[in-house]
A = this chain, B = another copy of it.
Amino acid sequence: MTSTTPGNSRRRTHRKRAYAPRLPLAERREHLLDAALRVLAREGYDRISIEAIAKEAGVTRPVVYGAFDGLEPLLNHLLDRTQRRALDAVARFMPENPDLSDPDGFLLELVAGVIDAVRAEPEVWGPVLGLIQGAPAVVRDRIEGDRRAIRARFEHLLAVGLEIRGGPDLDVELLSHMIFVSVEHFGRLVLEEPERFTRERLVDGLAGLLAAVQPGPAPDGAAAGGDR
């Protein structure tokens, strides 16, 4: 029997919806995260909401609230899923003790690996590379933290690589920032214009630049390197 409350004059003009199939909590959470990813890929962060995810998943909002405490925790879980894969991929390219005997070769393999990973899982790398727009603060802050950590690790490897390479004597921190944002940009170019910016073109282009960067002392006695 339908209850009515004072002031509620709306009549039930629509059939009650069928119940969604019941799922254990763990399965429901994965189901909802998959739905969230589809909404995100199709409409971006601007349009993501508990309401939109519920619709995409074919359930009602209380079901979503039963699995997550709100949009922010849900997005955090989604990031847990995708960022873990991104960080795993990065860990493969930048292991703890890499073979840096050929520093230029190492960098080129790293870049090639990043490009392959980006092409293989655009749904993982899209948010990281800022290609899914309108990200809320929870997503931006999380990704920014990951980026800082990865760049710091890269800076360390770069310092070692430049030593092995015999120079040039440069501001390693600054150089790591420049290489980092360039490689990120490679990722965006590969996703946005895959036929114009092929893997080969990007890797060859970087190889050409590395070949032009002499290890010896810069003739002008340029800036000292290293952290401040």
Determine the chain B residues whose CB is within 8 A of the CB of A174 once the complex forms.
197, 201-202, 205
Interface residues of A in 205-228 (CB under 8 A from B): 205, 207-209, 211-214, 218-220, 222-223, 225, 228
A137 vs B134: C-alpha distance in the bound complex, in angstroms? 8
Chain B: CB-nearest residue to A221: B211
* A185, B189: Cβ atoms closer than 8 Å: no
A170 vs B202: C-alpha distance in the bound complex, in angstroms? 11
* B204, A211: Cβ atoms closer than 8 Å: no
Contacts A211-B218, A211-B220, A222-B212 given; does A177 touch B168 at CB 8 Å: no
Determine the chain B residues whose CB is within 8 A of the CB of A134 once the complex forms.
134-137
A168 vs B130: C-alpha distance in the bound complex, in angstroms? 32
Tell yes or no: A169 within 8 A of B by CB.
yes
Determine the chain B residues whose CB is within 8 A of the CB of A130 once the complex forms.
130
Tell yes or no: A27 within 8 A of B by CB.
no
* B140, A209: Cβ atoms closer than 8 Å: no
* A211, B207: Cβ atoms closer than 8 Å: no
* B185, A208: Cβ atoms closer than 8 Å: no
Q: Which residues of A contact B (CB under 8 A)?
A: 46, 130, 133-137, 140, 167-171, 174-175, 177-178, 181-182, 184-185, 189, 196-197, 201-202, 204-205, 207-209, 211-214, 218-220, 222-223, 225, 228
Sample 23 A-B pairs with CB under 8 A, ordered by A number. Answer: A46-B136, A134-B134, A168-B209, A168-B211, A170-B208, A171-B204, A171-B208, A174-B202, A175-B209, A177-B182, A177-B185, A178-B178, A178-B182, A181-B182, A181-B185, A182-B182, A201-B223, A205-B223, A207-B220, A207-B223, A208-B222, A212-B218, A213-B214
